[in-house]
Amino acid sequence: MKVKISANAYYLPETVESIEALQNDNPDWDIPKILDKTGVRKRVISDENQTAVDMAYEAAKKLFQDKDNYESIDLLVLVTQSPDYVLPTSACILQDRLGLSKKCMAFDVNLGCSGFVYALSIVGSLIESGVASTGLILCADTYSKYINKNDRTCRPLFSDGASATMLERCESDNLGLFELGTDGSGYKHLIVKNSGSRLDNEVLNQKRGSLEMHGSDVFLFTMNTVPQCITNLLKRSDYSLDDIDMFVFHQASKLVIENIVRLMLLDVDKVFTNFENIGNTVSASIPIALKDADNQGRLKEGDMVMLIGFGVGLSWGATIIKWTIQ
């Protein structure tokens, strides 16, 4: 597609929770073992009254500081699984708060870990087809609000955060083919029960469900799916692993990414990670990692970058972008 990422920014809440805080709350936890699996030393947590919309707004405002043509935005997509309301659509709220044109399309995409890649395919296609000219992808999730403080599977891993990514038309192809897929049979492996219209009879009085993750099932899904996803995308794009300058995975965990690297025989120097001091920010993890890689000088003009998202759904997606200086 003749579309490029022209700007990228992110926002993280001020509250930082260290691995030591987990030990204080749960003295019986084997912290070294948890750290060895997750690789996460610090996570960021939204304030009690801070929502995904609030964080997405802050990420967009940071992007607008560096990009002065935001008034041309005619497409807004919010990727979130923790909207402010069941209805109305949270993207509509953000269109108003950000002062975007009333001619701007705005809608939500209810996806998690694969959401950014899916949003790239949607926004890129709408721009390529002429339906839109400038698109803004906002990714924001507040998983911490659904996690029990004594949950040793989810709490040491997930963070809250938001990203803002602008896409525009360009003269050359910078957004590649997409490899997307779904296995809904595994929907229960990452789920917040009693959070919508389907309620379990025995907990009808429960105000809000808690995030449940069957870690071993999600891990097996990832190991079976992601390598094949990468292989398929490379074949369809007529690239080899050597042609890719940087791999940016959804920042799932140390265990997951290390095993993908091992299975695919990837050059570890080409794999960017930042989960250690940020944690797993769900839909925002890939664009946040892209921004950090750029800030650290790891990306240069023309680099071929593969983006791979996978997780809740179960859902996965990958694409290859040609990096352009922002």
pLDDT of res. 66? 75
Which of 174, 194, 274, 280 is flagged as catalytic? 280
Q: How far apart are CA 132 and CA 72, in angstroms?
A: 10
Q: Is 214 a catalytic residue?
A: no
For 15, counting Cβ atoms within 10 Å of its Cβ (0-12 exposed, 13-18 middle, 19+ buried), the class is middle
Instruction: Please report the pLDDT score of residue 208 as a whole number.
Output: 65
pLDDT of residue 204: 53
Going by CATH, does the domain composed of 3-173 fall within 3.40.47.10? yes
Q: Please state which architecture CATH assigns to domain 176-322.
A: 3-Layer(aba) Sandwich (3.40)
Phi, then psi, of 321 in degrees rounded to 5: -115, 150
Domain with CATH 3.40.47.10 in the chain: 3-173, 176-322
- pLDDT tens string for the chain (326 positions)? 899 999 999 999 999 999 988 988 899 999 999 999 999 999 999 999 999 999 999 999 999 997 777 789 999 999 999 999 999 999 999 999 999 999 999 999 999 999 999 999 999 999 999 999 999 999 999 999 999 988 999 999 999 999 999 999 998 889 999 999 999 999 999 999 888 877 776 555 555 689 999 999 999 999 999 999 999 999 999 999 999 999 999 999 999 999 999 999 999 999 999 999 999 999 999 999 999 999 999 999 999 999 999 999 999 999 999 998 76
pTM of structure: 0.94
Catalytic residue selected from 8, 104, 113, 274 = 113
What pLDDT, on the 0 to 100 scale, is given for residue 70?
A: 78
What is the model's pLDDT at position 303?
A: 96
pLDDT on residue 190: 94
**Residue 250: CB partners within 8 Å, gap ≥ 6?**
113, 114, 280, 285, 286, 308, 309, 310, 311
How high is the pLDDT of residue 205?
54
Residue 200: predicted pLDDT: 73
Asked if 69 is an active-site residue, the reply is no
User: E-assigned strands of the chain?
Assistant: 3-11, 15-18, 42-45, 75-79, 105-109, 134-141, 161-169, 175-182, 190-192, 211-213, 246-249, 271-272, 304-311, 315-322
Q: Would you state the pLDDT for residue 206? A: 56
Q: Which three-class secondary structure state does DSSP give residue 11? A: strand
Catalytic residue among 104, 154, 250, 274: 250
Contact 81, 121 (CB under 8 A): no
Distance CA 120, CA 184 (A): 21
> According to the model, what pLDDT value does residue 203 have?
55
Looking at residue 111, its pLDDT comes to 97
C-alpha to C-alpha distance for 22 and 42, rounded to whole angstroms: 10
| 104 noted as active-site residue | no
> Per-residue DSSP letters for 190-208?
EEETTSSS---GGGTT-SS
CA distance 200 to 190: 17
